[in-house]
C-alpha cells in the first residue's frame, strides 16, 4: 500500500512543483516522498521512478499530441538522429524517472541514517 501511495504522491508532487519550478522539480518531489514515506530503499527508488516516469511520459505525449508531434519529430532528429517522437517521449520519461528515483533513494538513505543516530 505504501508503494502505491508513494507512486501517486511522487507523480502529484512533481506536477505541483512543475507548475513553479523548472524540469528538476522532480528532485524535491522525490526527496519528500523518499524521506516521509517509510519503505525499503529499493521500493522507494522504484515508486518514485515509476510514478514520475508515467507522469512525464503521459504529459509529454499529451503536449506532443496537441501539436501533432511536429516539435517532437524535429527534436528527436537532433537528439537521437531519428525521426521518432515516441522514442523521444520514452527518453523524456526515463530521464525524469531516474532523476526522481535517485532523489528518493537518497532521501530514504538519509532518513535511515538520521534514524540510527
Q: Residue 22 burial by CB count (10 A; 0-12/13-18/19+): exposed, middle or buried?
A: exposed
Question: How far lies 109's CA from each of 6, 35, 68, in Å?
Answer: 16, 8, 42
Domain ranges of the chain: 2-116
Tens of pLDDT, residues 50-106: 999 999 999 999 999 999 989 899 999 998 898 889 999 999 999 999 999 999 999
Helix 26-36 crosses helix 41-66 at what angle (to 10 degrees)? 150
| Global confidence as pTM | 0.90
- Could you read off the pLDDT of 15-63 as tens digits, one per residue? 999 999 998 999 999 999 999 999 999 999 999 999 999 999 999 999 9
Amino acid at each position: 500500500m505504501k508503494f502505491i501511495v508513494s507512486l501517486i504522491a511522487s507523480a502529484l508532487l512533481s506536477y505541483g512543483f512543475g507548475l513553479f519550478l523548472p524540469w528538476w522539480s522532480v528532485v524535491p518531489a522525490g526527496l519528500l516522498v523518499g524521506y516521509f514515506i517509510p519503505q525499503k530503499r529499493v521500493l522507494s527508488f522504484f515508486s518514485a521512478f515509476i510514478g514520475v516516469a508515467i507522469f512525464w511520459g503521459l504529459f509529454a505525449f499529451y503536449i506532443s499530441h496537441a501539436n501533432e508531434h511536429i516539435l517532437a519529430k524535429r527534436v528527436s532528429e537532433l537528439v537521437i538522429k531519428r525521426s521518432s517522437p515516441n522514442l523521444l517521449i520514452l527518453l523524456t520519461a526515463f530521464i525524469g524517472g531516474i532523476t526522481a528515483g535517485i532523489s528518493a533513494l537518497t532521501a530514504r538513505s538519509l532518513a535511515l541514517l538520521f534514524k540510527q543516530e
